Amino acid sequence: MAKSYHLTLARLLAATPVLFGAAAHAQHDHSAPANSVKAELVSPSGHASGKTASTILRLTGQDGKSVTLAELEVAHTEKLHLLVVDETLTDYHHEHPVAGDTPGDYRFDFSPRFGGTYHVWADVVPVATGQQEYAKAEVKVQGPPATKNKALNATAEADGYRFSLTTENNGPLESGKATIVRIKATTPDGKDFTGLEPVMGAYAHMVAFPENLESVTHVHPMGKEPATATERGGPELSFHVEPEKPGFQKLFLQTQIDGREVYAAFGIEVKAGSNTAATAAGDYTCPMHSEVKQKALGKCPKCGMALVPAKQDSEKKHDHDH
């Protein structure tokens, strides 16, 4: 079922605005193969804002054959993640459909808050390719759409907790340039919060959508992931990001506190980068799999994580990008 949440956007941090962004597919890797999976939303009845409707997601291969659960790998405790947002980047849902009665059909309850077009990405790792893919679909919802809001904010409050976003060296994010985004969680009384619970095998999930809704990014915090349900994280989470294009993006941070999911939203602007080569030799590697090396930016074929300049491999450790 769609997750409900309440956000109160606070003032921007006093420092230079901090930005976020990344590509949905292999960044700058034009040799990457096209998606092997296609997605389609099938609904027995229409969708209307404020109402819950049983919905079917249908996955097929390029040959038209159904894609079953046996043909998908587990990525952060699930074989299928659905990343859903409305056309104004206001109403975000993270769903996990279950297998339906027909092979290739996956069932979930969808509760859109607004009308208009909702964009849906099926985040999957096919067994056949071993690489992360985003298969996109759309669904029309009856009712008035939300008001589009492009306000920038580097702090957000959710369920009384405050989440503050900063960047490495407090500089702006630029397209084509890898950097570290940090988010700090604090309690309602302003103290560091260290009670972030595991959610889908991580202490948080970060999803970003550009204004044109042509892509999506789904990343997890760097560092050690929780091994048991009793482990806790915070107050600071670090994410490795690399924007592909400049422009406005909406970032949604998903955490879990006291058994409930807590979402915080940020509006950010990615500046145009110089697009210069990160290393003179043009060598890139995976921070988690040092044996992976190539001459162009892209994603690791083993874990799907964004490659970084080889010279940074010994300086930083990053998480898997699934």
Could you tell me where in the chain the CATH 2.60.40.10 domains are found? Answer: 7-25+149-270
Can you give the pTM of this predicted structure?
0.78
Averaged over 288-302, what is the pLDDT? 68
CATH number among 3.30.360.10, 3.50.50.60, 2.60.40.10, 3.30.420.10, domain 7-25+149-270: 2.60.40.10
14 by Cβ neighbours in 10 Å (0-12 / 13-18 / 19+) ranks as: exposed
| Cβ contact 86:143 at 8 Å | no
User: 293 pLDDT exceeds 90?
Assistant: no
The rounded distance, in Å, linking the Cα atoms of 145 and 4 is 17
Mean pLDDT, the chain, as a whole number? 83
pLDDT given at position 241: 85
What's the Cα-to-Cα distance from 270 to each of 19, 66, 174, 303, 309, rounded to whole Å? 5, 38, 6, 26, 20
pLDDT given at position 289: 64
Could you tell me where in the chain the CATH 2.60.40.1930 domains are found? Answer: 37-142
| Cβ contact 120:84 at 8 Å | yes
What CATH architecture does domain 37-142 belong to?
Answer: Sandwich (2.60)
- CA 131 to chain centroid: 16
Closest CA to 284 of 28, 71, 60, 52: 28
Which value, to the nearest 10 degrees, does the dihedral of the CA atoms of residues 134, 61, 104, 217 take? 0
Averaged over 87-100, what is the pLDDT? 97
Averaged over 119-139, what is the pLDDT? 95
Give pLDDT tens digits for 230-278: 999 999 999 998 878 899 999 999 999 999 999 999 999 999 987 544 4
- Residues of the chain above pLDDT 70, percent: 78
